[in-house]
Structure 1
C-alpha cells in the first residue's frame, strides 16, 4: 500500500526535508559490468544523430514530495549539466520548467535560459506540460534534469552516476545520494548506517505510487530518482475500513474521476460501467489512496481492474 507510509500528510511534509546541501557519494569503485550505461550511451548516440529542430523541455521538479533534490544536484554537478545541455541544445530549442514554489532553482536555471514555473501536479501530464510551454505537443521532447547530467557525463566518458534522494527513519535520511551502476539497495542502506532490524519497507520512486523492493541485493536502476527506507515510525499499519463517502478522492483526482464509484463498480464486476465512468483515464498517480481516511487501496484496485478488463478484451 502506498497511502499508508505516513499517518497523515503533515508527517510526510516533515519527513521530506533535505538535511545536507551536498551529495553523499556512497559507491566510488569503477564497475566493469556497465550494461545499463552502455545501453544508455548507445541510445543517446543514435538519438542525437537522428533528431534536429526539436522543441525541448528540461523538467526539474516532481509531483512526488520525496523527489526534491534537484537544486542540490544541479549545484553539485553543474559542470556535467552544462556538458549535457550543450549536447541537447544541438538538436533544438530548450526551455526549463520548475515547481512554482521553488525560487532557488528558478534562479539557478535562469542563467541557462528561459524558466517557466508550473504547479507540481502538472508533472502528471507530459502532454499538458508541452502544450503550456510550446502551445502544442508535436515534436516536443522532455528530459529530466538528472538525465541531462547523465548525458553530460556520458559525453565526456565519465562514470554515469545514479542520483537520487533518500528518506526514511530507519537510516540517516534526508540526503541526496550518488552511486555508480550495479550498486545495490543494501549498499546504500548500509552506507547510510541503516539498521536491518528497523527496516520494514523499501520503495523505489515516489511516496504516492512507488514500487516496493523486496530484495536488498537488487541493483538500483539508472533512472532511479528516489528511495524510501521505512521503519514502523513511518508506516501506519492500521487496517482498511469501508468507504465513508467523504469525497476526498474526488477532490484530488487529477483526471476528475470518481474513484469511489469506480471502486464500487469493480466490486460488482460491472466492466462496461467502469469504462463508461472513465477507468481508462486513471493515470495511477496514487493520490486517491494517499488521502483515503479509510486506508483503502483505491489506486491499486484501479490498476488491477484495468489489467483484468484489458486481459478479457484480448
Structure 2
C-alpha cells in the first residue's frame, strides 16, 4: 500500500468543490485521521502561516486541492492574481511538506495545462509541446510549475509524490457566481433563473461549438482515493471520462434539468476558448479505475443541489 489510511492526512482546500468531495470520499474509504483548515483559519499564500500549520498537524500524507480557480472570464480578467496566488499556495504547501518529511503527496492540477491545439484525445506526454490557451495561460503556468515541483522532489529526495490532472469538474459545492464560475455552473444558474423569471430567451457565450469533457466531482474524489493507494510515477496522470460534448449540447441538458422551455441563443462576439479539450484516460483505466456518474444524471443532481442550497452556495 502506498498510503497509510490511519496516518494524519491533510486535505488542503477541503472546503472547495474538489477538496470537499475528496474529504467525503476518503472518509467513506476508511481514512481515519483527516485534517483540514479553512482559508479563514490559515492563509496558504502566507509562507510562515503554512509552516506553522505543518508544525501543528505533522501530516504524513497531503492532498493539494487548494487553489484560486475560476472560469474563462475570471482567468482572463485577473491573470496576475491567478498566477501569483496559485504559485504561492503550491510552493508553500510543498516546501512545508518536504521540510516535514511528508512521503506521500498528491498535487491536483487541471487539464488546462495542455497546449491549446494539442492532438485529441490529449495524452499526458503532450505537456509542454505547444502554446497554451491565452485566456487561462497564467493559471496553467502555475499548475505546470506544480507538476515540475512534484517531479523535482521525487527525483532529488525520493518521495512518493504524484500529480493528477482532472478534466472540467462540476457538482455539489461548485461556484455559481456570475463573474467567476466555470461554464457548467454558470449555465445552471442562468437557466434556473430564466425558468423562475419566465424569460423567453437565454443568451450564452460563444458559438456553442467547443467540445468539453465534464467529470462529476464525486468521480474525481474516487480517483484521488484510488491513486493515493495505487499510483506512484513521476508522470502526471489524466483523470476524466474519455467522452466530450459540445457546449450547445451541455446547455440543452442543463435547460432540460432546470425545466426551461424558452429559446437559447449564442453571442458569438464572446470567446469560445479552446476548441476541444478531451483527455486520454487510458493509463488510469488500465490501472483499474473508471467513472460512475453519467453526465445527464450528474447535471440533474447538481441542478437539484443548487435549488436546495443556493442560499448558502457561492452564487
Which has the greater radius of gyration?
1
TM over 0.5: no
TM-score (norm 2): 0.27
